[in-house]
């Protein structure tokens, strides 16, 4: 898989790309991630990419030309173009699994007051990571990239990804490690039993209990399915 991220602030991705699972996935050639500064596609003095909105109003608006030219510089027949946007569809694990099926993702990071509306004509999907406003689209782009990368074949153990929270609309079960007792808090005996069938049942039951308590809305979705 290839992911091209279009941004005004490439340096924000330095740490993100050089640590942990993302770095290993890149080093192992499981995924290619390119950071593209769409300021380089501006034809204006000082590489300007924004201007005041027609009709007046506060803030600056990202222009069409540099963003669209940046898209076109990397787009091919396998590309899905994503716009990070508060008005987009709320991101979730199912969407991450759907995006993993594409060979090439292009993610556009916004800034300032917003986008020229015409940019949407060159976009396939708008995604929001939640009902709040961020300074720019870089963090949402990292969220999407991280969640999709870990699903790419060979990046992490497949069984781990299927046991994650939100798989099958359930939160993950509680996990424990050594020591067996800490300040009077004990590891459940079933996890020490060696009985894998009982352990599997315990974990499934705990996932249901945890979901009912913390995210009952997910249980409603399960019922609807």
Residues that are catalytic: 86, 113, 150, 164
Which residues lie closer than 8 Å to 159 by C-beta, 6 or more apart?
Answer: none
Other beta carbons less than 10 A from residue 42's beta carbon: 19
Residues 216, 223: Cα–Cα separation, whole Å: 11
Rounded to the nearest angstrom, the gap between the alpha carbon of residue 125 and the centroid of all alpha carbons in its chain is 13
- Tell me which residue of 137, 122, 107, 111 sits closest to 50, measured CA to CA: 111
Closest CA to 60 of 136, 122, 157, 129: 136
Do 70 and 107 form a contact (C-beta atoms < 8 A)? no
* CA dist., res. 86 & res. 134, Å (int): 9
């Amino acid at each position: 898989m290839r992911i091209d991220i279009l941004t005004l602030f490439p340096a924000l991705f330095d740490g993100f790309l050089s640590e942990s699972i993302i770095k290993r996935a890149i080093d192992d050639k499981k995924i290619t991630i390119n950071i593209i500064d769409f300021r380089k596609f501006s034809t204006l003095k000082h590489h300007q990419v924004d201007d005041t909105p027609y009709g007046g109003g506060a803030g600056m608006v990202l222009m069409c030309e540099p963003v669209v030219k940046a898209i076109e510089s990397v787009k091919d027949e396998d590309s899905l173009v994503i716009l990070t946007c508060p008005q987009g569809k709320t991101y979730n694990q199912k969407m991450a699994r759907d995006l993993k099926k594409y060979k090439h993702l292009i993610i556009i990071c916004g800034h300032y007051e917003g986008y020229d509306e015409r940019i949407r004509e060159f976009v396939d999907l708008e995604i929001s990571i939640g009902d709040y406003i961020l300074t720019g689209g870089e963090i949402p782009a990292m969220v999407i990239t991280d969640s999709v990368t870990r699903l790419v074949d060979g990046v992490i153990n497949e069984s781990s990804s299927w046991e994650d929270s939100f798989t099958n609309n359930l939160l993950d079960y509680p996990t424990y490690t050594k020591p067996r007792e800490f300040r009077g808090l004990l590891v459940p005996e079933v996890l020490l039993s060696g009985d894998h069938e009982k352990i599997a049942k315990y974990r499934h039951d705990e996932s249901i209990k945890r979901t009912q308590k913390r995210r009952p809305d997910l249980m409603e979705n399960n019922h609807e399915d």
